[in-house]
Amino acid sequence: MKRFVLPSISALCIAAAIYANTGNATSNSAETYRQWDQLVQVYERVRDEYVESVDDSEMVEAAINGMLSSLDPHSSYMGPESVENMQMQTSGQFGGLGIEVTMEDGLVKVIAPIDDTPAAKAGLQGGDFITHIDGEQVYGMTLPEALKLMRGDVGEPITVTILREETPAPFDVTIIRDTIQVRSVRHRIENDNVGYIRIASFNKNAGSGVRKAMSAIKEEVGDDLAGVVLDLRGNPGGLLDQAVAVSDAFLDKGEVVSTRGRRAADIDRYNARNGDIADGLPVVVLINAYSASASEIVAGALQAHRRGTVIGTQSFGKGTVQTIIPLSAQSAIRLTTARYYTPSGLSIQEYGITPDIIVEQPRPEEFKDLPKPRREADLRNHLANEKTPEELADEQLEDAPLVARTTKSSRDTDEIKDYQLGYAIDLIDQVSQFRQQVAMN
């Protein structure tokens, strides 16, 4: 249903009257009407007496956004620009630089430049930190705010200031924006016999991309394939159906995730279909503090079914589902409508997924004194988990009895900087060797 906002006092009065006379009226309807009347009075005073002229529609939009943002960090009003950005993110095409990024230690960190894009041609590298965008300091911004600055019209230049570990000082790089076709899934071969699949975001191509990547890996490695690393680090999430599709690809049966709304009847369950694209080979899932939402659904599903070993650090902890409800052709609201639960019935809201094996990724020396990454529990107005941290930890330990805390791997050498990936490859190698010994006996 489409609803249109009418930026006038009469519209607010009509809304108040309608609300007061609906069948939802309760014993406190008089108080609710009084508050509506206060809202109208404030609106009128601002419009007539504020020091500068204020646009009516902007005031109404601000009121709507204030109402929604007071609920939780993920509910919000979406104007034309926000709707357009959401469509670009889910479709995987927009004008920009061509880099996969995350937010780390208050700065934008480049995960990897996308092949044949302006960023790759300009020489940006994985591990680079962006400290300024067109002279504006990044520290203190949210990731969406930084992304908004980096996106723009095709052909427009942008200057980013780069901090690189091996360089003595930050330096500027000017890049010309171009149309970017985002590949949410990339793959390669590690150690000659381990498939590596990275999912940068859960856009509409994530599920099919994982299946194509697995087919390519099998074709390249053949019968020597020892296992698969599924890298979800820095993945902020995306579409629920794509999280289900990726989980389903590695599961042969069972529940992937359930979502539960406000009412007892508002429960949806998503189940896996027959077929495991990895044919039962070991799967290791990498997560970190920036793995959120859809990433946590996948990690939680594979962990609960003992189909994948989760390695890394505690995930972000966003265990809620947002529904986009259109208001008009160019506006909508993003409303939190449900919580999601792992197949074990656990809500990871606020706390996140606990890895089976915790492996810390050392920080660069110059960033060791910066604050730790912010998680869902650090966000204002975040929804609380129904269980205490102690109760949740006990249940997660029951579901993941192989939990071990370690920060060392046999592959920790000066040549290997990605300790988490090194540990994952080691684990797959060890499992593969064990299987070969069992087969020989």
C-alpha separations of 145 from 137, 199, 436 in Å? 11, 22, 50
pTM across the whole model: 0.75
The residue behind tokens 């469509």 is 87
The residue behind tokens 């998680």 is 375
Antiparallel, parallel or unpaired: β 404-405 and 99-104: unpaired
Going 104 to 108 to 114 to 119, the CA torsion angle's sign is negative
Dist. CA 251–CA 207, nearest whole Å: 13
Q: Could you say which of 89, 293, 349, 409 is catalytic? A: 293
pLDDT 10s per residue in the chain (441 long)? 333 333 334 444 434 444 444 445 455 678 888 888 898 899 999 999 999 998 988 888 888 888 888 899 888 888 776 776 666 666 555 667 888 777 777 788 887 787 678 988 899 987 889 999 999 999 878 777 888 888 888 889 999 999 987 788 899 999 999 887 767 899 999 999 999 999 988 988 899 999 999 999 999 999 999 999 999 998 888 899 999 999 999 999 999 999 999 888 889 999 999 999 999 999 999 999 889 999 999 999 999 999 999 999 999 999 999 988 888 878 888 899 999 999 989 898 998 999 999 998 876 665 566 667 778 888 888 888 887 766 766 665 555 444 444 444 545 444 447 889 999 999 999 998 888 887 777
Q: Name beta bridge partners: 335.
A: 323
Please state the domain extents for the chain: 9-70, 93-181, 185-440
- 214: helix, coil or strand? helix
Going 428 to 429 to 434 to 435, the CA torsion angle's sign is positive
What count of other Cβ atoms lies within 10 Å of the Cβ of residue 382?
18
Angle at alpha carbon of residue 144, lines to 138 and 150, rounded to 5° = 65
Asked if 231 and 198 touch (Cβ cutoff 8 Å), the reply is yes
Contact residues for 118 (Cβ-Cβ < 8 A; gap 6+):
97, 98, 175, 176, 177, 178
3-class SS shares of the chain: helix, strand, coil, % to 5:
35, 25, 40
For the question of residue 410 being annotated catalytic, the response is no
Q: What letter represents residue 315's amino acid?
A: S
For the question of residue 318 being annotated catalytic, the response is yes
Going 107 to 113 to 118 to 121, the CA torsion angle's sign is positive
Asked if 353 and 287 touch (Cβ cutoff 8 Å), the reply is yes
Q: Quickly list H helices, 50-101.
A: 56-69, 80-91
- Domain 185-440 fold is 2-enoyl-CoA Hydratase; Chain A, domain 1 (3.90.226)
Q: Could you say which of 318, 396, 409, 420 is catalytic? A: 318
CATH topology agreement for domains 93-181 and 185-440: no
Domain range 93-181, its CATH number among 3.40.50.1000, 2.60.200.30, 2.30.42.10, 3.50.50.60: 2.30.42.10
Q: Could you say which of 76, 247, 291, 322 is catalytic? A: 322
Question: Which residue, 105, 138, 144, is CA-closest to 237?
Answer: 144
| Length of the chain measured in residues | 441
